[in-house]
Amino acid sequence: MNSAFGTIKYGREQVQFNVLYSARKTLGIEVYPDSSVVVKAPLGIDSSEVQRRVFRRVRWIVRQQRYFRQFDPRTPVRQFVGGETHLYLGRQFRLAISSGNQDSVKLTRGYFTVAVRGTVSSDKVKSLLDSWYAAKATAKFEEILTHRWPHFEKLGLSKPRMQTKYLKKRWGSLSRNGLLTLNTDLIRAPKECIDYVITHELCHLQYHDHSAEFYRLLEKVLPDWEKRKHKLELTLA
């Protein structure tokens, strides 16, 4: 799968798009929840024809981007108070907060039941939930990595070390020395979305950039990766 980039001007807006060439007969245009635009085009089509087709649809593209922007931010800032909902593996759970003899977090019957020793405060509840998420993330990510690894072991690659930490702008990264870092916040996403991020990063063991070869490997290992990526963006936006 080859790729290229393009830009169309629409009024005061610049519409950027990524073109993915593959063995297909028709040209399709998709606008994703993060407002990115992907054009799926047949191999051999002239770049000027791609530009012309995008220009014909630019009004629709901008309308779709504006539609998605109305949901930003889709998740309100959390206050860590009783009755508020929080995500775990793609499902919403309500907070039930109480005083207790010891600090604890339990997931039962659709609730995050948080017991706080001493004075109850939103900061303390947040700290307890963050610690709970971090512990769950380490175990769940390792489980998914172990499940996914055989696909890459066949390529003669070395299994990376894994760590979890809160990242501000990335879901994951893979260093040159084989350290896979995953954002703890991913534990809030559906399992198939976590699998997508891990698989994406593992593909970088073979290809360190986002070349056509990289996407070819990603699509081979995870044919529905785009669907999973979109679901992740919608869930955790």
Residue 106 pLDDT > 90: yes
Where are the domains positioned within the chain? 2-69, 85-134, 142-236
Dist CA 108 CA 100 (whole Å):
17
8 Å CB contact between 198 and 182: yes
Residue 14 pLDDT > 90: no
- Which pTM was predicted? 0.69
**pLDDT given for residue 3 in this prediction:** 67
Q: Which two tokens stand for residue 40?
A: 């799926």
**pLDDT given for residue 129 in this prediction:** 95
**Residue 163: pLDDT band by 50, 70, 90 thresholds?**
very high
**Residue 76: pLDDT band by 50, 70, 90 thresholds?**
low
Angle at 215 between CA 209 and CA 219, to 5 degrees: 150
Q: What percent of the chain has pLDDT over 70?
A: 95
Strands (DSSP E) contained in 91-225 are 91-100, 104-108, 111-117, 161-165, 172-174, 179-183
**pLDDT given for residue 70 in this prediction:** 59
Dist CA 219 CA 208 (whole Å):
16
**pLDDT given for residue 237 in this prediction:** 63
Higher model confidence: residue 186 or residue 109? 186
Tell me the CATH class for 142-236.
Answer: alpha beta
Q: How do 179-183 and 172-174 pair as beta strands? A: antiparallel
pLDDT in tens, 30-56: 988 777 899 999 999 999 999 999 999
Residue 88 pLDDT > 90: yes
> What value does the mean pLDDT take over residues 132-154?
96
Higher model confidence: residue 198 or residue 66? 198
Q: Which two tokens stand for residue 163?
A: 């760590």
Q: What percent of the chain has pLDDT over 90?
A: 64
Residue 130 pLDDT > 70: yes
